[in-house]
Structure 1
């Protein structure tokens, strides 16, 4: 896990050690130390604070997920823009820091199984289109709602329609409809082109590998 707050890390340490199937292998106060420890211990999951010092939390998410580590990002307040950015960076989970211990432990288990887990409270506020800053020219992306952007980010991670539906609490028909709209607005032909489009800014241009569970789960 990685967070600059010693108090918050202590809380996470206590929560993780209460779960008999989870093993805490390392903790770091900044992104550079986190990457070094990830190389050394190769954990299944990394818990990353949104305000991580160093190169920044999103860059840390990109680098960890590209290396095969499943990342859950923990945000101070949590906005729909933060959630979409986290998914686009490759995060498999996104929660506000006030998430309950039981829900966080279950999220760790779920992402190791290959699932994506998101803060349910944030999912209710994803249907408004992104508003560009004053003076900025609208782009195809800003004409997408935050939910459509979230769907696109999950497509880029290699999730199926049923997995996306479960993650965003939608029907598969709704997911399919969102993908159709996204493809049309971005001028893309299929979900492969969509994945390439979303992953263009990722290191190596590839989505994070989806690895299966290997007990015990290391964090």
Structure 2
């Protein structure tokens, strides 16, 4: 059973999301919050696997909360769920470490799929958002002088991360153990001075590695 923290300032929306999510018997909404500050407090008293985070909320917005939570609890997955189809919001959310960006117009099935994708190490982007965000990422030309040297194996893994593959999928494609993939990822993140695989995925796209 995976524990979910719902961060949404509208009670009716939280209630609907809770009912929707818990239709999947492997997911449990174990905590709720009305804003970013409450979310941080809930993290201190609950073991959370995935946070469903709105952006515009009183006291502390979702982007600021994502930044703080990812710094203190880097392993927790954060899926942004918002009404705002704004590419700048999406770019900022990914920069702060979010593992996905969905719109509230999504179907319940898409939300459940995205939660499971995040849990497996994937990154979910709403199609309409990806259509605007990916070209912006691609518009940044790579500078070979600024890219630390990666081995051929590390480049292959980085490329697959950029394509949204999970550790298990990478291991299968490259005929490696999952443990070996994790070790390579640790080395890659250290070399590139990146925080997590979401930042690595963005790095891969921006530098034409994916």
TM-score by length of 1: 0.63
Aligned to 2:123: 116
Cα distance in 1, alignment partners of residues 41 and 111 from structure 2: 24
Task: Tell me, yes or no, if the aligned pair for 1:64 and 1:70 is still in contact at 8 Å.
Answer: no
5 Å matches for 1:77-88?
Answer: 77-88=84-95
**SS of residue paired to 2:98:** coil
Cα distance in 1, alignment partners of residues 96 and 24 from structure 2: 28
Structure 2: unaligned runs, 5 residues or longer: 1-5, 143-156, 166-187, 199-210
Q: Deviations over 1:182-216 (max 9, x none)?
A: xxxxxxxxx869954xxxxxxxxx61589xxxxxx
Q: Call closer, same or farther: CA 1:34–1:20 in 2, change over 3 Å.
A: same
Aligned to 2:56: 51
Cα distance in 1, alignment partners of residues 97 and 134 from structure 2: 21
**SS of residue paired to 1:95:** strand
Shift of 1:121: 1.9
Of structures 1 and 2, the one scoring higher in RCO (CA 8 A, sep 6+) is: 1
Cα distance in 2, alignment partners of residues 6 and 122 from structure 1: 26
Aligned to 2:45: 40
Aligned to 1:163: 161
Shift of 1:39: 1.4
Q: Call closer, same or farther: CA 1:127–1:21 in 2, change over 3 Å.
A: closer
TM-score by length of 2: 0.65
Q: Call closer, same or farther: CA 1:22–1:55 in 2, change over 3 Å.
A: same
Cα distance in 1, alignment partners of residues 16 and 81 from structure 2: 13
Q: Deviations over 1:131-178 (max 9, x none)?
A: xxxxxxxxxxxxxx34457x9xxxxxxx822121237xxxxxxxxxxx
Cα distance in 1, alignment partners of residues 129 and 53 from structure 2: 18
Number of matched residues? Answer: 155
- The two structures, once aligned, show a CA RMSD in angstroms of 2.8
1:20 aligns with 2:25: yes
More helix by share: 2
Q: Deviations over 1:67-101 (max 9, x none)?
A: 12110011212221111111000000101111110
Aligned to 1:97: 104
Structure 1: unaligned runs, 5 residues or longer: 129-144, 152-158, 168-190, 197-205, 211-219
Q: Call closer, same or farther: CA 1:3–1:99 in 2, change over 3 Å.
A: same
Shift of 1:113: 0.9
